[in-house]
Amino acid sequence: MVRSLESYAQDRWHAGARDAIELRNAVNGDVVALASSSGLDFAAMLEHGRRVGGPALRKLTFHQRALMLKALAQFLDERKSQFYTLSTATGATRPDSRGDIDGGLATLFVYASKGRRELPNDTVYVEGAAEIVSRGGSFIGQHVCVPLEGVAVQINAYNFPCWGMLEKLAPCLLAGVPAIVKPASSTAYLTEAVFRAMVESGILPPGAVQLVCGGLGDLFDHLTCQDVVAFTGSAGTALKLRSHPRVLAQSVRFTAETDSLNCSVLGPDAGPGTPEFELYVKEVVREMTAKAGQKCTAIRRAIVPERHLAAVIETLCARLAAVRVGNPALAEVDMGALASLEQRAQVRARVAELAAAGEIVYGSPEHVDLLDADAARGAFLSPILIHCRDRDADSAVHRVEAFGPVSTVIGYGDVAEAVTIANLGQGSLAASVVTGDDQIARTIALGIAPWHGRVLVLNRDCAKESTGHGVPLPHLVHGGPGRAGGGEEMGGVRGVLHYMQRTALQGSPTTLTRICNRWMPGAATSATPVHPFRRFFEELNVGDTTHTATHTVTIDDIERFAKLTGDEFYAHMDEEAARANPFFDGRVAHGYFVVSRAAGLFVDPAPGPVLANYGLENLRFTKPVYPGDTIGVRFTCKQKTAREGEGHGEVRWDTEIRNQNGETVAAYDVLTMVARRPLGSDPH
Ligand code: NAP
């Protein structure tokens, strides 16, 4: 009995009643499942996300949402063996499935961790420093980011049914925005299984996620300016969807990841016999065969120096001959099937176009030797390497994407021509440059950067730990200009901000401090009768300030500090040499002495709630301190970050050291860990 996939709408599972399409096993052609979204009320789904999911997510802080992602990743991780079984039906080998399933979980884990390290335990993200836009400082500006109040509609391609969903969901849920996930139909059975486990976990609040197995019906007609569409798939579909009248009329945020004629350039220095040559060949073969070449980032154009062209082709052919194609369930199989027979037919047609611009030097579009599989039933295809002689701008090699185990080799004369050829792809997701010469690396990497979202520069030094050409990392942006869709996903916190509105707040420093929970320069401070180091985390308020006693710096201070630290830089030790320096009028105190002495002034030494100093940020020495100058410190509680479930929180202190004339000589943030008040203890 073939299972009908269900959609998840308004917190209920929903079986499509009519017009189901058959989803087939890529390996043997059997029908795996049926999919239909008929009967779904798309307007109601959007409303549900906006009215139920959004408010529930927005109630949580970034840290609470991050912990939710972590719990979700752990829950799915324990159940992943069932996903692996289903993944084989998509044509994926075990390593392919690992990239999709474990890669997706890793993305959740990375966002869970970044959310707690790089975002505040608050519901508003204060972006960058305040802008002082008035002479007197009573009127300032501050950028903040808040979650959009709509729904993210996330449309995914068929090649990464698990990662594709999770890489979009992680930053979106962390931002506090609910999502409607629409997997590509042909592999939706795996997405549905992962989604079902997410629902079973009970970790996400109601309305946070919904799923559509099948078409999106009239959903686009109901989008508003608070919604976001994040699309991955073909350029044709992206164009159609981004030019939907409703998307245009409502300025719906639309981000697209589409086709890409990614390239890899072999440096002129990296001839046969060099480690870089070997790395290059390995990378091209891996990119051609991993996921049977159905990776949006796969190397489609191998751009190599003319003088190494024959050697590259010969070596690639020999390596491709060793690739075993067949049943992806077998451990000895290196490359499985394409996602469907239709897909194979499409790739064959594209190969014919590419071959017209050159010649096939490895593989046949019509024949492949298989291990334990039937080429008539499964969507198998041989790896195909094409030597493309026509490298002009209008050549098919720069226009046609064969979304399978297909790559072209193109020769170049000099480095400038390599850059030109690389950029003829009209915008790509990923490129790599394999060279042992850093000057060549700079010329090529910066020459192609305007046309590429990501550039891997590979050599013997980083090869061992390199994640490879084709792997998008959650820490770094994924996306590219032009035909790659012009979008950007992930990239750590950048990906979260795609789902948020950046707003420029303008007003008085005190008002903005209260809105942002972060003390701004010029805002009111409150003197506290109790030293701030004697206050538990809960008892501290943003703006609490202490003005310390002062210290007059002596020549003896400077000499003792120099002796203790061994820092005998002439500006501290030699009056004449110091005077000759354009910045100083004579011997100056060490900046580190000033900072150390400041600590001696603001620290309250007895054991208490302050547990540790874990760093300084943004330290600037703004004026020299000379013997005879008197320094004192203003020490202000700038920001508090509670740590969920831990006995302490982080407190950031705005620290300003001034001299006897009230001039700032140094400014920085001191970072401390401060204990929470023990239960039952008396507040101050
Ligand atoms: P596609 O036909 O454009 O489909 C992509 C997604 O759009 C699927 O979920 C599809 O659903 C949906 N879709 C199609 N028509 C739609 C419509 N009118 N309204 C709403 N949704 C619609 O792409 P594909 O051929 O499956 O995918 C392969 C392409 O994706 C390749 O060209 C590849 O380069 C690109 N890709 C890019 C990336 C990237 O990150 N840049 C990653 C992977 C793939 P159905 O399946 O139900 O039609």
The predicted pLDDT at position 682 comes to 62
Instruction: Report if pTM > 0.85.
Output: yes
pLDDT digits (tens, 9 = 90+) for 12-44: 999 887 788 888 988 888 998 888 889 999 999
pLDDT digits (tens, 9 = 90+) for 328-376: 999 999 999 999 999 999 999 999 999 998 999 999 999 999 999 998 8
Distance in angstroms (rounded) separating the CA atoms of residues 256 and 276: 33
Query: Is 432 a residue whose pLDDT tops 80?
Result: yes
At residue 204's C-alpha, the angle toward residues 203 and 207, to 5°, is 150
What is the distance in A from the centroid of ligand 1 to the CA of 218? 18
For strand 630-642 and strand 610-621, is the pairing parallel, antiparallel, or unpaired? Answer: unpaired
Distances (CA, A) of 613 to 119, 230, 669, 674: 20, 42, 11, 9
The predicted pLDDT at position 218 comes to 97
The predicted pLDDT at position 44 comes to 98
Residue with tokens 């297909």: 406
Distance in angstroms (rounded) separating the CA atoms of residues 595 and 668: 9
At residue 88's C-alpha, the angle toward residues 485 and 195, to 5°, is 65
Task: Say yes or no: CB of residue 237 within 6 Å of ligand 1.
Answer: yes
Distance in angstroms (rounded) separating the CA atoms of residues 101 and 83: 7
The predicted pLDDT at position 19 comes to 81
Distances (CA, A) of 304 to 358, 391, 435, 467, 518: 15, 12, 11, 22, 53
From 553, 550, 551, 560, select the one nearest 627 (Cα to Cα): 553
Q: What residues have CB less than 8 Å from 213, skipping those under 6 apart?
A: 5, 6, 7, 16, 35, 36, 37, 183, 185, 188, 191, 192
Calculate helix-pair angle for 591-602, 555-565, nearest 10 degrees: 100
Query: Is 193 a residue whose pLDDT tops 90?
Result: yes
On whether the CB atoms of residues 413 and 422 are closer than 8 A, the answer is: no
Query: Is 170 a residue whose pLDDT tops 70?
Result: yes
User: Closest ligand 1 atom to the C-alpha of 257?
Assistant: 41
Q: Exactly one of 172, 296, 388, 516 is catalytic; name it.
A: 296
Task: Say yes or no: CB of residue 346 within 6 Å of ligand 1.
Answer: no
Q: Which two tokens stand for residue 249?
A: 């009329």
Q: Fold for domain 37-258+494-500?
A: Aldehyde Dehydrogenase; Chain A, domain 1 (3.40.605)
Distance in angstroms (rounded) separating the CA atoms of residues 549 and 633: 8
The predicted pLDDT at position 153 comes to 98
pLDDT digits (tens, 9 = 90+) for 444-455: 999 999 999 999
**b/e burial code for range 231-251 (CB count within 10 A of at least 16 → b):** bbbbbeebeebbebeebeeee
The predicted pLDDT at position 684 comes to 53
Mean pLDDT of 585-603: 97
Q: What residues have CB less than 8 Å from 478, skipping those under 6 apart?
A: 167, 257, 429, 453, 454, 472, 488, 489, 490, 491
Task: Say yes or no: CB of residue 254 within 6 Å of ligand 1.
Answer: no
Kindly write down the DSSP assignment for every residue of 120-133, as one continuous string: -SSSSEEEEEEEE-
- Residue 365 is given by DSSP the state S
Distance in angstroms (rounded) separating the CA atoms of residues 255 and 100: 21
On whether the CB atoms of residues 184 and 5 are closer than 8 A, the answer is: no
Query: Is 680 a residue whose pLDDT tops 80?
Result: no
What is the distance in A from the centroid of ligand 1 to the CA of 237? 7
**Residue having the nearest C-alpha atom to atom 47 of ligand 1:** 185
Check the CA dihedral 245-249-254-259 and report its sign: positive
Give the confidence band of 391 by pLDDT, cuts at 50, 70, 90: confident
- The ranges of the chain annotated as CATH 3.40.605.10 are 37-258+494-500
Length of the chain measured in residues: 684
Q: Mean pLDDT of all residues in the chain?
A: 95
Task: Say yes or no: CB of residue 298 within 6 Å of ligand 1.
Answer: no
Better-predicted residue by pLDDT, 211 or 33: 211
pLDDT digits (tens, 9 = 90+) for 116-168: 999 999 999 999 999 999 999 999 999 999 999 999 999 999 999 999 999 99
Mean pLDDT of 644-660: 95
Give the confidence band of 528 by pLDDT, cuts at 50, 70, 90: confident
On whether the CB atoms of residues 604 and 531 are closer than 8 A, the answer is: yes
What is the distance in A from the centroid of ligand 1 to the CA of 185? 9
Query: Is 681 a residue whose pLDDT tops 80?
Result: no
Q: Which of 192, 223, 232 to mutate to test the pocket of ligand 1 (most atoms within 8 A of CB)?
A: 232
Q: What residues have CB less than 8 Å from 320, skipping those under 6 apart?
A: 285, 288, 289, 362, 363, 383, 385
Query: Which of helix, strand or coil describes residue 143?
Result: strand
From 196, 199, 208, 202, select the one nearest 151 (Cα to Cα): 208
Distance in angstroms (rounded) separating the CA atoms of residues 63 and 112: 8
Give the confidence band of 392 by pLDDT, cuts at 50, 70, 90: confident
What is the distance in A from the centroid of ligand 1 to the CA of 184? 6
Q: Exactly one of 167, 257, 283, 650 is catalytic; name it.
A: 257
Mean pLDDT of 659-675: 97
Task: Say yes or no: CB of residue 185 within 6 Å of ligand 1.
Answer: yes
- The ranges of the chain annotated as CATH 3.40.309.10 are 263-467
Mean pLDDT of 532-549: 94
On whether the CB atoms of residues 596 and 625 are closer than 8 A, the answer is: no
Concerning whether 213 is annotated as a catalytic residue, the answer is no
Share above pLDDT 90 across residues of the chain, in percent, rounded to a whole number: 90
From 117-121, 371-375, 389-393, 585-589, the region with the lowest mean pLDDT: 389-393
pLDDT digits (tens, 9 = 90+) for 258-283: 989 999 999 999 999 999 999 999 99
Cα 506 vs. chain centroid, distance in angstroms?
Answer: 30
Concerning whether 257 is annotated as a catalytic residue, the answer is yes
Q: What residues have CB less than 8 Å from 352, skipping those under 6 apart?
A: 365
Query: Which of helix, strand or coil describes residue 187?
Result: helix
Q: Across 534-629, where does the E strand assignment appear?
A: 544-547, 551-552, 610-621
Task: Say yes or no: CB of residue 220 within 6 Å of ligand 1.
Answer: no
Distance in angstroms (rounded) separating the CA atoms of residues 219 and 241: 11
The percent helix, strand, coil of the chain (3-state, each to 5) is: 35, 25, 40
Q: Across 29-161, where does the E strand assignment appear?
A: 31-35, 125-132, 140-147, 152-155
Distance in angstroms (rounded) separating the CA atoms of residues 634 and 367: 77
- The ranges of the chain annotated as CATH 3.10.129.10 are 525-675
The answer to whether domain 525-675 has CATH 3.10.129.10 is yes
Distance in angstroms (rounded) separating the CA atoms of residues 640 and 631: 27
Q: What residues have CB less than 8 Å from 563, skipping those under 6 apart?
A: none
On whether the CB atoms of residues 548 and 166 are closer than 8 A, the answer is: no
Task: Say yes or no: CB of residue 638 within 6 Å of ligand 1.
Answer: no
Q: Which helix (H) or strand (E) holds 345?
A: helix 341-355
On whether the CB atoms of residues 516 and 144 are closer than 8 A, the answer is: yes
CATH superfamily of 263-467: Aldehyde Dehydrogenase; Chain A, domain 2 (3.40.309.10)
Query: Is 662 a residue whose pLDDT tops 80?
Result: yes
Residue with tokens 């919604």: 227
The predicted pLDDT at position 683 comes to 55
At residue 100's C-alpha, the angle toward residues 280 and 258, to 5°, is 70
On whether the CB atoms of residues 518 and 637 are closer than 8 A, the answer is: no
